[in-house]
């Protein structure tokens, strides 16, 4: 199987690439490196079956070529992070909606299965626990840019389901909750990586003090 991972230089995408390669699949990663890091997949470069393309998913010509050559698409590319969402909501909306529409439209053209990474933010402010995918959604006002991310990812889901209904596009939507792990950046408002780095820095500082007898 040949898998195309959009946003594959993120920490989730890079681990997914490792797993798929270990299972014997071919993997192509496409990433514009706006939030991902090539360093996350640098150790995969040169391995049989792995290829990397630096490009935005909005480039229709490139995406047409990549999608036509794959069997399944793991669509992880998105503008993420609270800090980025608040600072530049236009970028968030355009990246998430326009980019996803491009991926889904081309996937429908070739009948390629799409696994779409959505978010728990889609549930909004619902207090109905446990959450249900068919439950009503409660969101904050449009004057709070924080909700632009939830709405953009909800639109991604609407698009995926619409293409599935109209063109029989095989789609799977995964609403990810707080994801934490190796290679995750602390930029763009990710809290846990920052806390880990601060704790490690404090631990190293304490160790240094003990060694010097301070």
Catalytic residue among 74, 110, 123, 149: 149
SS3 call for 73:
strand
Helix (H) / strand (E) element for 206: namely helix 191-212
The vertex-137 CA angle with 131 and 138, nearest 5°, equals: 110
Among residues 155, 152, 150, 145, the alpha carbon closest in space to that of 89 is found at: 145
SS3 (DSSP) at 45: coil
- Comparing CA positions, the residue from 163, 15, 17, 103 lying closest to residue 3 is 17
User: How distant, in Å, are the alpha carbons of 17, 24, 40 from that of 115?
Assistant: 14, 19, 21
The answer to whether residue 110 is catalytic is no
Q: Are 76 and 3 in contact (CB under 8 A)?
A: no
Residues labelled as active-site residues: 149
């Amino acid at each position: 199987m040949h898998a195309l991972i959009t946003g594959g230089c993120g920490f989730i995408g890079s681990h997914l690439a490792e797993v798929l390669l270990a299972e014997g699949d071919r993997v192509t990663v496409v990433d514009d490196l706006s939030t991902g890091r090539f360093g996350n997949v640098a150790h995969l470069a040169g391995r049989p079956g792995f290829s990397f393309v630096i490009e935005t998913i909005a480039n229709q010509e490139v995406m047409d070529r990549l999608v036509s050559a794959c069997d399944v698409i793991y669509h992880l590319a998105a503008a993420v992070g609270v800090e980025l969402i608040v600072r530049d909501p236009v970028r968030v909306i355009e990246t998430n909606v326009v980019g996803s529409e491009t991926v889904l439209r081309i996937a429908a053209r070739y009948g390629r299965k799409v696994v779409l990474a959505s978010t728990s933010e889609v549930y909004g402010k619902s207090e109905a626990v446990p959450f249900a995918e068919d439950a009503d959604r409660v969101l904050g006002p449009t004057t709070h840019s924080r909700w632009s991310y939830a709405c953009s990812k909800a639109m991604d889901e609407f698009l995926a389901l619409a293409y599935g209904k109209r063109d029989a596009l095989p789609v799977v939507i995964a609403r990810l909750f707080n994801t934490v792990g190796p290679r995750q950046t602390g930029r763009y408002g990710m809290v846990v990586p920052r806390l880990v780095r601060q704790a490690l820095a404090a631990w190293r500082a304490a160790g240094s003090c003990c060694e010097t007898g301070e």
